[in-house]
Homo-oligomer: A and B are copies of this chain.
């Protein structure tokens, strides 16, 4: 058994700098508004701070998170277009890089999340209005009317999406 160095801290291959820590915390904080897990904010934050491409392994070590968290967090971030994966010839590792262009991010969100949800909500609304229309269900006065109004708002929101896209693409 080698000599014990009890005061020696667990060694990370490369420690993150105070500046990086600050940026990571900023994105963790920001992520809270979007109900994102802390680990996701940390991963994106470190990739953003670092600027270059990093491997899953580096993220695990430098953030002291588990491989599972890193893998799942990266999947989510890839899913919304917030990180890109890169490859290097003769290297089996995946290299992750933060997408730092807000327009690209928002475009991805509008396209993949918001529009889908608006359509989904519209379907549900139509079915709801029909179900409520049946007199047997005892709908309060004016309810069908209020639901129809909801539908018209939904349509308006759908029209808003491309407007926002245009504005941000500038």
Contacts and interface: CB of A to CB of B under 8 A. Distances in A.
B100 A139 contact: no
Interface residues of A, number: 45
A124 interface: yes
Interface of A: 17-20, 22-23, 26, 29-30, 33, 35, 48-52, 100, 102, 117, 121, 124-125, 128, 131-132, 134, 136-143, 146-147, 149-150, 153, 156, 160, 163-164, 167-168
A143 B23 contact: yes
B160 A51 contact: no
A106 to B, nearest CB: 9
Contact of A131 (B19, B50, B141): B19
A164 B160 contact: yes
